[in-house]
Amino acid sequence: MKIIKTRITLPEREVVIGLRSYNKIHKGSYNSFNYILIGNLDNIDDIKNIIKFGPKKSILENLKGEFFLILFNDQKLELISDRFNSIPIYYAIFDKGVIISDSLSFISKEAQITTFNKDVFFEFIYFQKISREKTIFNNIKKFSSSTILKIQKNQKTSQKYWEPVFSRTPSKISLIENSVELADLIKKSVELNTDNLNKNEKIGLFLSGGMDTRCVLAASKNLNLNALTLGFSENGEYQTAKLLTELYENFEHWFIKLKKTHFSDVFEELIELTSCSYVFDHALFYNIKNEPQISKMRYLNGYGLDFLFQGMYIPRDNFKIFGKPTYISKIRHGKFDYTSDYINNISFKFKHINPFYYVKKEKKAYLREFLNFEIKQIENEALSLNCNTLTDFYDYTIIRDISSHYSYSNILSMREMGDIRTIAFNNSILDFFLRIPYKQRLNARILKRTLKILEPNFAKIKSANHGMKITSNEYEMTLIAIKRKIIRIFSNSSKFKHPDSERRTWPDRYEHITSNKFMRNKALDLLKSDHLDTCMPYLDRDKLNPLITEAINGGSSNFGDSIARLITIDQFIKGIN
């Protein structure tokens, strides 16, 4: 992947900036300062105010856009991120130099950094993400959200210009009232991200047919819109998205059928893009820019609306029938050990087989203490911001740095196509999220109601994920699921089976690894990988290798998810050596 270099000379320091060529970059100067804007600001003149008055909190906390800003003159360097950290940036500071890049491998190679923080690899396997500002390298950090970093001579200072305020108090504002407000906020965010375009100019939207992208589609119904749906087959999500776009004449719908070799065709680029911070297969949208359906236009997406307003990470207990979980759940309340609860229950952690199983016995306690320490640091931050409940804490772990979320490489891979706008990355939407009652988010209650307000007809169309009306409540969904189960038992008909992975955009990791020769070979490489042994010397090969062997030979599918995480690590280390 091509990297564009910029060099800056400061007193006693040499600065190297390396940015991927697909980035939207605006360069300019004002007074004695030069600036590099990565991404977009709603008002480019805001940069002049920052230079004129300094990076004051009162200015920065009101900036609108998805951006990373670099300001510099012959004396100092200032780096500023947005509230969402929507442009993930890594950096390394040395006695005589600074390297800044959106590519972790670029910094590693440029500075010849090869010393690893070996414990972080285990965190990645466990959570499929890396928390706080760490990377897998000891001397390279990830920039934090809403942060100003100033470098001048031998001094370095860092401060937050905005932090979330957790002041949720019992509210008399009803679900309906808050849903009306959220619908208005989504519409305003769409308007903000399209208002500088010509009236007849086409807008793109990545449309899965889920609740999040339906809401964006509904808020965009007055635009000339090209909706794009990706998939390995025309089942499920494509059919749902097609039904949605047929309701409006000004919507066009395009389907991009992904090849079975979609990931393997650009595998090395995906590994570089994801920087051993995300599993490679979440970068689904990479390498579609040359498809005939892709045009040079601005593209909207619904990323983040799901985990902000569908209650995906609200700590809950599911009601069970005959030992099987239902759609009915309740929030876990009371005094908890927040750190322990998160480590044991967050839904994107390992699947099926606990990584501690294949860690050497003498290293287990140390790695448990490491995970506990890292999450405890986040808990301490949360408590300082008045996070008084377990749900507050879970919310904080997500929004403290949204671009560290395990699925964020979705957005990174979209950016190859140019001007990408994330509708949820709006200050007012985030503020709204922080003040509404938890119960209104549980089971997507507020987003379901919001969709009905934005476009009632969209709310009637079934979800590809579960085959039910997408705005059905948890009780209706549970009854439908029970009914299907009973009919399937007596009829022996697969028609009533819950929709499988073939009907979804993302392939099942196990099926993809075992059915794709290229990916299967990458999994086989793990069995004798010196890279894994070097960066994770605590792995117990006597337990790990049989799990890998059984999985790739068509045995248990339970280890497919972990294999994808291990491949990401193995191939990234291979790529920088």
- 3-class secondary-structure state, position 443: helix
**Which amino acid, residue 236?**
G
- Please choose, from the candidates 565, 485, 490, 184, the residue with its C-alpha nearest in 3D space to the C-alpha of residue 325: 485
In this structure, are residues 454 and 219 in contact, taking their beta carbons and an 8 Å threshold?
yes
Alpha carbon separation from 548 to 104, 128, 566 (Å, rounded):
28, 18, 10
Tokens of 396: 């904080």
35, 46 Cβ separation under 8 angstroms: no
Residue type, 155: Q
What pLDDT shows up at residue 496?
A: 53
Closest C-alpha to 123, from 483, 375, 498 = 375
Q: Which of 515, 564, 526, 510 is nearest to 259 (CA)?
A: 515
CB neighbours of 380 closer than 8 A, spacing ≥ 6?
A: none
Residue 321 structure tokens:
């029938």
Tell me the C-alpha distance between 230 and 225, whole Å: 16
Q: Which amino acid is at 463?
A: S
Q: How far, in Å, CA of 499 to CA of 522, rounded? A: 29
**65: which 2 tokens?**
């856009």
Enumerate the H helices of 492-540 as residue ranges: 509-515, 517-525, 530-535
Angle at 173 between CA 168 and CA 176, to 5 degrees: 125
What was the pLDDT predicted at 196? 84
Residue 276 φ/ψ region, left for φ over 0, alpha for ψ in the -120 to 50 degree band, beta for the rest: left
pLDDT tens-place string over residues 198-216: 877 889 999 998 999 999 9
Q: What is the spatial distance between Cα 227 and Cα 234, in angstroms, rounded to a whole number? A: 15
Task: Specify the pairing of strand 141-142 against strand 203-206.
Answer: unpaired
The token pair that represents 240 in the structure block: 């749902």
Half-sphere exposure of 193 (CA within 13 A, CB side): 32
Query: Are 60 and 50 a contacting pair, CB within 8 Å?
Result: yes
For residue 211, the model assigns a pLDDT of 93
Determine contact, residues 219/187, Cβ cutoff 8 Å: yes
Give the CB-side neighbour count of residue 404, counting CA atoms within 13 A.
Answer: 23
pTM of the full predicted structure? 0.93
Locate 64 and state its tokens.
């609108």
Helix (H, G, I), strand (E, B) or coil at 250: coil
The Cα–Cα gap between 165 and 277 comes to 27
Contacts of residue 359, defined as CB under 8 A and 6 or more positions apart, other chains included, come to 122, 367, 538, 539, 540
Residues near 65 by Cβ (< 8 Å), separated by ≥ 6?
Answer: 39, 40, 41, 42, 82
pLDDT of residue 555: 82
pLDDT of residue 60: 95
Whether residue 90 contacts residue 107, with contact meaning beta carbons closer than 8 Å, is answered with yes
Confidence (pLDDT) at 19: 96
The parts of the chain modelled with pLDDT lower than 50 are none
Write out 56-74 in H/E/C secondary structure.
CHHHHCCCCEEEEEEEECC
Closest CA to 255 of 276, 228, 282: 228
Tell me how far apart the alpha carbons of residues 240 and 504 are, in angstroms, rounded to a whole number: 11
H-only helix segments in 193-266: 211-219, 237-245, 262-265
Delineate the domains of the chain, giving CATH numbers in brackets. 3-160 (3.60.20.10), 175-310+406-503 (3.40.50.620)
